[in-house]
Structure 1
């Protein structure tokens, strides 16, 4: 049977269930004559009579009884599933996939979302750590986290952190035999711990700014990593100077395990943004995650 006849089957099921064309038509928001025409068309398509009609009653034929017994429960299952899906519309449930740099995952996503997921046990969050500026649409992520200047113009962007600063740090033991740098140019005399960027294979430049003067360097050193956490570990182990977000090392600085230098050359820079392609068809779970991450002054 062609799919366009499903409406006739639905009409038939409602008429048998209600025992009345008038009541069935009211449920389906159609006229009784339109309902009768639909069933007549179904009978013509099947080549059998489904209903015996009189002025006072409606009864199923043998073929009609068989069709009703086998089909009606399936329509009830469909109705139940549709109702269940409608309930999800306002309930935060489902999996939200986010791609993020390591630092944002550790410093923003984890502390903000860990509490939210306790409060919303039906929400699942999958975080993929990478630096490759993934295409979130083609790779089927729900959202991505990047610096504000890295977000494409056609994306919706929501600020999730304040402006940030870089810290240049080394261990007291490292500085015991070396003079602390006073200007960025002094870094040529130091061993620097570098971060390699997977996006284009190069090393992250060390950017400095003071009184309108901008300096961009690529200092050298023994160690190169592709994430920031081992850079901090190497700095603590006296291997050189680290150029990392300051929140990663503030505790070590306060405890005297690391010493900060070139502080007056480290200007604030834009913080992290959550970005995604469209507000259309946004799930309730997606909305909960966005609002939990949104930065508020």
Structure 2
């Protein structure tokens, strides 16, 4: 059975490479030995699988059907063997994650903190970034972004509920000023801007109501690249901020902030963890993914404000 499985794996390699020479190099065997193995396989099956020319190799109709049947099954076997190896290996090593600071504070850190205590040989490195980072190029194991739209060679796993945004300002700032009733009214206000790293531009605030979408470019005296510092500036009376509602809510409840344009503030798909589409991932990353995977009702809106805000 082992010999037959090896021949089937060799056939798949030849069919994929369309070359005995390249397939033999991949399999670590001679071209002659590979050719004889394929002839023996065809003889046992009683059907021709490959069409050979002086320049290339292609599958016959029978070969194409066999290839379509074999590939998913061989992949399943390889994945199962890889999973057994992962169970044998002790979870250890560093998992590098790039994410929005709000996602780290509210979702990643609360769930991964117990994991680190349970597995002392695992290290997690967080890197705060607002861009959709190329995790392969930047040597990250995973990244976090809003929504599940990722490149086709990536896998996205939901880790948080829907993300609701809010416009908020302090009573002190709003005193003597007209409250905005439409997104366009924000141009008459001092707003706290967010600098995006991707192109270096300022984030245009997104609004939506009854199917109408608006983008408003605001101005003000302050620009940050950190959500919590934007919230702190709003608490300090420096203008209006556009930040996740779960950060605003506790301050609205205590009267330190006023929530504005609530019927225009959008709701975005929740945070998703994305990682490379590999059949076998490290045991440490597998544990991180399982710990972060979102289940409906798992997280209620948090009642704590910014960790940097003065009580």
Does the TM-score normalized on the shorter chain lie above 0.5?
A: yes
Q: If the length of structure 1 is used for normalisation, what is the TM-score?
A: 0.68
Within 5 Å, give how 1:205-220 maps onto structure 2: 205-220=204-219
Once the 2 structures are TM-superposed, how far is the Cα of residue 95 of structure 1 from its aligned partner? 1.1
Q: For the Cα contact (< 8 Å) 2:147–2:268, is it kept in 1?
A: no
Once the 2 structures are TM-superposed, how far is the Cα of residue 147 of structure 1 from its aligned partner? 1.4
2: distance between equivalents of 1:87 and 1:261?
Answer: 50
For residue 81 of structure 1, what is the aligned residue in structure 2? none
For residue 265 of structure 1, what is the aligned residue in structure 2? 264
For residue 274 of structure 1, what is the aligned residue in structure 2? 273
Q: For the Cα contact (< 8 Å) 1:89–1:284, is it kept in 2?
A: no
How many matched pairs? 212
Q: Residues 147-204 of structure 1: CA distance to partner in whole angstroms, max 9, x if unpaired?
A: 1255323210000111111010000111111111111111111111000101011111
For residue 232 of structure 1, what is the aligned residue in structure 2? 231
Change beyond 3 A, Cα 1:197–1:87: closer
Change beyond 3 A, Cα 1:261–1:283: same
For residue 176 of structure 1, what is the aligned residue in structure 2? 175
2: distance between equivalents of 1:296 and 1:87?
Answer: 25
Q: For the Cα contact (< 8 Å) 1:113–1:293, is it kept in 2?
A: yes
Change beyond 3 A, Cα 1:232–1:124: same
Q: For the Cα contact (< 8 Å) 2:155–2:275, is it kept in 1?
A: yes
2: distance between equivalents of 1:148 and 1:89?
Answer: 34
2: distance between equivalents of 1:282 and 1:111?
Answer: 23
Q: For the Cα contact (< 8 Å) 1:155–1:276, is it kept in 2?
A: yes
For residue 286 of structure 1, what is the aligned residue in structure 2? 285
For residue 54 of structure 2, what is the aligned residue in structure 1? none
Change beyond 3 A, Cα 1:116–1:247: same
Q: If the length of structure 2 is used for normalisation, what is the TM-score?
A: 0.65
Q: Residues 83-121 of structure 1: CA distance to partner in whole angstroms, max 9, x if unpaired?
A: xxx687343222111111211111111111112211222
Across the aligned residues of Structure 1 and Structure 2, the Cα RMSD in angstroms comes to: 1.6
Change beyond 3 A, Cα 1:251–1:104: same
Q: For the Cα contact (< 8 Å) 1:89–1:283, is it kept in 2?
A: no
Once the 2 structures are TM-superposed, how far is the Cα of residue 249 of structure 1 from its aligned partner? 1.7
For residue 140 of structure 2, what is the aligned residue in structure 1? 141
Q: Residues 118-156 of structure 1: CA distance to partner in whole angstroms, max 9, x if unpaired?
A: 122221111111123222112211111111255323210
For residue 247 of structure 2, what is the aligned residue in structure 1? 248
Q: For the Cα contact (< 8 Å) 1:182–1:262, is it kept in 2?
A: yes
Aligned structure 1 segments of 4 or more residues deviating by more than 6 angstroms: none
1: distance between equivalents of 2:264 and 2:175?
Answer: 22
2: distance between equivalents of 1:234 and 1:282?
Answer: 42
For residue 77 of structure 1, what is the aligned residue in structure 2? none
1: distance between equivalents of 2:267 and 2:162?
Answer: 6
Q: For the Cα contact (< 8 Å) 1:145–1:274, is it kept in 2?
A: yes
The answer on 1:109 being equivalent to 2:118 is no
Give 5+ residue unaligned stretches, structure 2: 1-84, 297-311
For residue 88 of structure 2, what is the aligned residue in structure 1? 89
For residue 308 of structure 2, what is the aligned residue in structure 1? none
For residue 132 of structure 1, what is the aligned residue in structure 2? 131
Once the 2 structures are TM-superposed, how far is the Cα of residue 261 of structure 1 from its aligned partner? 0.4
Q: For the Cα contact (< 8 Å) 1:98–1:126, is it kept in 2?
A: yes
Matched residue SS, 1:113: helix
